[in-house]
Amino acid sequence: MMPKVLDSFTNRQLQVYAAVCLKIFCEEMAIRHESIDRFIAHRVRLASSEFLPDWGEEGMALELTGLGDDFPISLMHSIPVGVREVFRQMVENCSEVGYCDMYGADTGDPRKYAGECLRLLLAMSIAAPPTSPLEFDNRSGKRGDDAWGDPFTAEKLAGVTEFYSLRQGLVEG
């Protein structure tokens, strides 16, 4: 069941939460690969991105995109066979959080995809990550009722990356 607080999250907050779900899944399954680190860091950078199309293009250039492309062979070898399908679903849902509404109307689908990341995590009997570091209002009104919300400040992003033990250097990019 998705925590009710996620209903109030902006797309930026949802993207960070989905990336944290993927990070925790990989830690619990002992999946390690540099392409995952870069993918997660890129997803988290959405939180502070000032220009979403540039962020989107950067993501397309990653080795791991989550957009249906084949995974790198070296990555596939690092994923236990029994969880490869769950890993694929986690990566694709995590990717969709940021991309699905980027060039169109606010559909609410980022919430659905973040919820699916959480559902997959819970289905593997892995505890949900806390939402507390993301529980703040990042809608200043400057962007209207935009579902994306305002970019995180450097201070807010640093606090989130520290709490979730995200690799700061990769996140800062």
Mean pLDDT of 86-104: 94
DSSP letter string over 16-73?
HHHHHHHHHHHHHTT---HHHHHHHHHHHHGGG-S-HHHHHHHHHTSS--SSSPPPPH
Q: What is the pLDDT of residue 171?
A: 52
Q: Is the dihedral of CA 94, 100, 105, 107 positive or negative?
A: negative
**CA 131 → CA 47, 70, 173, distances in Å?**
15, 31, 24
- Tokens 């993501």, located at residue: 59
- The 10s digit of each residue's pLDDT in 15-66 is 999 999 999 999 999 999 999 999 999 999 999 999 888 999 999 999 999 9
Contact between 72 and 65 (Cβ < 8 Å): no
- Model pTM score: 0.93
- The 10s digit of each residue's pLDDT in 62-86 is 999 999 999 999 999 999 999 999 9
pLDDT, the chain, mean: 90
Copy the structure tokens of residue 126: 């892995």
DSSP character for 151?
A: P
Domain range for 88? 4-172
Number of domains making up the chain: 1
Q: What is the pLDDT of residue 1?
A: 61
Q: What is the pLDDT of residue 57?
A: 93
Cα separation, 164 vs 43, whole angstroms: 14
Cα separation, 124 vs 135, whole angstroms: 25
Q: What is the pLDDT of residue 144?
A: 52
Residue (of 111, 99, 148) closest to 17 by Cα position:
111
